[in-house]
């Protein structure tokens, strides 16, 4: 298992952030629709550039393992806020699942905050030997 550990850490990071990178890119290509969706949920559309930056920069940082703990902390908070603003409609079973999904993702990010990115990361290369 120890020989697989670095690769599993890397795969786990990639799987955790794929959705954020994909979503950030989608918000760029569908900028107006994304801004309208945010405004319908009571979130100012002016925050969309920040949302895109958090998803893309945070996602890419975790993917390569750069400043992983900070990026994971920010994305955990982002996931919780997204759950509260966009999916706290508990009379709708689909929204309940989305809410729980966001909380589950936040939990994964918090594990990265505690444990870091692992050996196959830029963070590991920055650490003195």
- Is the pTM higher than 0.85? The answer reads yes
Instruction: Report whether 58 contacts 96 (CB < 8 A).
Output: no
- Describe the crossing of helices 93-115 and 68-86 by its angle, rounded to 10 degrees: 160
Give the total residue count for the chain.
129
Domain count for the chain: 1
User: Domain span at residue 50?
Assistant: 5-126
d(CA 74, CA 17): 12
Contacts 24+ apart (CB under 8 A), 39-45: 41/85, 41/86, 42/85, 43/85
pLDDT in tens, 60-114: 999 999 999 999 999 999 999 999 999 999 999 999 999 999 999 999 999 999 9
């Amino acid at each position: 298992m120890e020989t697989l550990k670095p690769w599993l850490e890397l795969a786990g990071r990639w799987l955790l952030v794929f959705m954020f990178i994909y979503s950030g890119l989608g918000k760029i290509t569908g900028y107006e629709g994304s801004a309208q969706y945010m405004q319908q949920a009571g979130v100012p559309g002016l925050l969309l550039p920040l949302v895109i930056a958090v998803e893309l920069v945070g996602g890419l940082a975790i993917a390569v393992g750069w400043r992983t703990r900070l990026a994971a902390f920010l994305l955990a908070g982002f996931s919780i806020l997204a759950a509260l603003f966009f999916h706290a409609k508990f009379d709708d079973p689909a929204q309940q699942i989305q809410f729980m999904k966001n909380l589950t993702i936040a939990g994964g990010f918090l594990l990265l905050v505690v444990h870091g990115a692992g050996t196959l990361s830029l963070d590991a290369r920055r650490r003195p030997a």
